[in-house]
Amino acid sequence: MTELLFRDDPYLTDAEAVVLAHTPEGGIVVSASIFYPTGGGQPGDNGWIEWDGGRLAIATAVKVDGGVALIPAEARAMPAVGAPVRQRLAWERRFCHMRVHTALHLLSVVIPLPVTGGQIGAERGRLDFAMPEVPAEAVHWEEAINRLIDRDLPVTQDWITDDDLVANPALVKTLSVRPPTGQGRVRLIRIGQGEGQIDLQPCGGTHVARTGEIGRVTLGRIENKGRQNRRVTLELS
């Protein structure tokens, strides 16, 4: 199994690992990964790996049975199974994903409606909401999310059991994607602490340590995506 280094330290930009396997599609399964694998609306990370006698650009990372596979940007010689490698992350893109992802959690606080879909990019992200009509207070959403950012709230992780999640269904804001269960525990992302907590929801993605790191965001026009759905897009300034 791959140790998910990105989960416990999303600011880690280089780390050593050992090649565990090669996938039939040409991926490199590693013993530990700083690369986030595509999932939950967040793209996989890119960067490169180095080993004795070689260097290879990594286009993305994906989930596979047994862990995380790094996908080379081009067909070239790969490190052998058992070889030690050093991973180096394309940090600027990852940090943008962290900022956008945390901002989308704040957007779900400002708009307390069920989420029907979402996507994260390096400059912008979006959430789709079960929103039959656009409420009058929509004109204040941009100001409200930037106030939360300016509060520089801590962003931390916690864990609960699968049974705890079943007993607390309100933690899940998404209608289309359910948190992965079956491992015995589920990761939660908390924004704020104690009486200052404003959000707590299951999430496996990477986030900034404090909301102030997001910087100012702007909201685009609200798009109609069906009779019951509206799309809200935010962009990093």
Q: How far is C-alpha 83 from the chain's CA centre?
A: 29
Q: Are 129 and 188 in the same domain?
A: yes
Q: Given 46, 62, 89, which residue is the final one in a domain? A: 89
Pairwise CA distance, residues 149 & 53, whole Å: 45
Q: Are residues 53 and 164 in the same domain?
A: no
Concatenated DSSP letters for 22-82? E-TTS-EEESEESSPPSBTTBPPP-EEEEETTEEEEEEEEEEETTEEEEEESS----PPTT
Q: What is the pLDDT of residues 60-103, one digit of tens each?
A: 999 999 799 999 999 889 999 999 999 999 999 999 999 999 99
**Same domain for 126 and 67?**
no
Cα-Cα-Cα-Cα torsion 93, 28, 204, 145, nearest 10 degrees, comes to: 10
pLDDT digits (tens, 9 = 90+) for 13-62: 999 999 999 999 999 999 999 999 999 999 999 999 999 989 999 999 99
Judged by phi (left if over 0) then psi (alpha if -120 to 50, else beta), residue 48 lies in beta
Amino acid at 117: G
Compute the Cα dihedral for 130, 132, 136, 142 and give only its sign: positive
Q: In what order do the strands lie in the sheet with 185-191?
A: 155-161, 185-191, 199-202
pTM (two decimals): 0.94
Q: What range defines the domain where residue 41 resides? A: 3-89
- Tell me, yes or no, whether 199 and 107 share the same domain: yes
What CATH number does the domain containing 159 carry?
Answer: 3.30.980.10
Predicted local distance difference test score (pLDDT) of residue 177: 64
Are residue 125 and residue 209 in the same domain, yes or no? yes
Strand segments, DSSP code E, in 52-207 are 54-64, 67-72, 84-89, 115-120, 124-130, 155-161, 185-191, 199-202
> In whole angstroms, what is the distance from residue 39 CA to residue 224 CA?
25
Cα 180 versus chain centre, distance: 14
Q: What is the pLDDT of residue 87?
A: 98
Q: Per residue in 152-182, pLDDT tens?
A: 999 999 998 988 888 888 888 876 666 666 6
Last residue of a domain, one of 39, 59, 89: 89
Strand-pair category, 47-51 with 54-64: antiparallel
- Number of domains forming the structure of the chain: 2
